[in-house]
Structure 1
Amino acid sequence: MVTPSSIQFIDSALSCTTSLALSYSDPEQKWIIQKHLTSLLQDYPTLNPSIDTFNHNDGTTVNLLNANGYLFVSDSSPPIAITIWLHENYPYMAPIVFVTPNPTSKIHPNHLFVDPSGATKSAYLQTWQHPRCNLTGLVHNLVKLFAIDHPLFCASPSSSFTHPSVVSKMEALDRVTGAIHYDIVALTAKNEEEIEELSNLQAVMNKRVDIARSIFFELDHERSTLKAKVKELTEEADVLMNWLRVNEPKAAVATVGGEDDDIDDAFEAVGKVSNLMLDSWAADGAIEDLIYALDKAVELGVVTFDVYIRLVRKLAREQFSHRHNIYASD
């Protein structure tokens, strides 16, 4: 039941003509406001009338009546602090509704009817039309909606959408809209996760493409370098062959297509000392190649370290002997 003090407060506020007067100018409008607000407080005694300054989004400031207090939607959920502002053009403009969170109960993210600032919207507000709509009908609709989808952290936001009940067409529409809304939220989150995974995969693939392109360019550059080197060596070989044809006919014939013995004879050393020196040079180079091959074998694990040391020592002694012959011949 509405208290006499609340009725007196509403009457005094609507009849005030000082600088603190409300932004309702039409007498008939004031009568409707008094009637609707009194009816609201009669049905929902947990709400109280109040006066305050309201700032619109366009920056204009008005003095408005509001009803604030708590809505109890169920025994198992916390009460909802709410403020209902009566627009300066009420009842032809819908009221402005805000849910106020508290330190222990925050507004649920992605809520269908309440945004993070607390601003509340519903089909009842969006299709507001006088005289069909009024404050009591609005709060009745909000209680139904918040029982279905509580705006504070207290329960799963979409769990009660599956419970059948006898509801009005508008409330049924709100239920369907809410179910679709949370399905879209879940699907959007899943799609965003998949998009992030695909973006990461794309980044990896782009990196691999860059690496492959770099390798291709390096190989192409190396191929061009080798072709130029082959061309250079071919030209040098032609110069050498021309020189041999003029100065060493025998060597030229052996190089062009003679027997293996002819090739060896083409570069035959003169004297025993020269032969010994040439053989020592060849042996030294062969030992050097063999030691290099042993190094690789140790790295690959083909040869044990003990075997490697024994062979290297033996080869080093032999190489020392050959190098002694080389330097002794100088």
Structure 2
Amino acid sequence: IWLMESYPRHPPLVFVNPTRDMIIKRPHPYVNPNGMVSMPYLQNWVYPSSNLVDLSRNLSHFFSRDPPLYSQRRPNPNPNPNFNPSSANSMVSSNSMSAGIVRPAIPPRAYPQSPYGSGGGRIQLPSPQRPPAATEDPAEAFKRNAINKLVEGLHSDIGALRKTRETEMEGLFNAQAVLRQKEEQLSKGFREMQDEKEGLEQQLQMVLMNADVLEGWLRENEGKMANMGNVDVDAAFEPCDALSKQMLECTASDLAIEDVMYSLDKAVQEGSIPFDQYLRNVRLLSREQFFHRATSSKVRAAQMQAQVTSMAKRASQYVA
């Protein structure tokens, strides 16, 4: 099984390599005469569902049903004929009889008795020894050495390619981690921008409503500017409602009392008034200032409530 550079997106190459004693079956449905395997699993290879484990199972399944290789039969060597001494003696006797000369019979040659006994009176000759095996074919040796060298080179290239790919994958994983951090930062920045946009839109609505209020006030008071000849400064600004008028009076009284208490402090430091009189005046002014400030706080709360109600009404008009 040869793994190409495009593996695993493309199928590997599968070959059947017969030995010297085996040949490829012809014809075979999945193996061509060159030993290349072509089967449905390789033709329908789909990454990542296809893998080498399933490929090995398919090869084992199909080749167990129809093996692609079978061994050649070797010719059996002809055994040497056994030497029979009795036939030799009969041939000698017949030759002597045919010549008309009576010769004494040649006694059989004595052989040392075998310690394992004799079988039927025949002499067992040692079995003929096979000739030594022929020397290896130089072409086969060269082919085997070349294949081994190619396999070693292929293993070395695969190891180097694997290290390169592992380094590239490590770099890609590091880049992926950096990209994830940047994605989180961008998502956080986007959410902050969305929140800021919503806040700015709310402020814009407030500015638009305040602008409408100011434009309305200008339209109402535009005609009054012509009649302002000798107008008292205090009467130039009239409160728009009772709460505003009360707020203005309370604030003015509070600030006036603050100025009086400041003047009393300077007078007592300079010795213009006695100290006990200073204490009585400060106590009375502080009591009055407290009531003015409490009234101002309540008026401010009422104004805020009225402003919220007015803004809600204006917002409903803009939405409509």
TM-score of Structure 1 vs Structure 2, range by shorter chain: 0.3 to 0.5
| TM-score between the two structures when normalised by the length of structure 1 | 0.32
More strand by share: 1
Q: TM-score, normalised by structure 2?
A: 0.33
Q: Per chain length, whose mean CA-contact separation is higher, i.e. which structure has more relative contact order (CA < 8 Å, sep 6+)?
A: 2
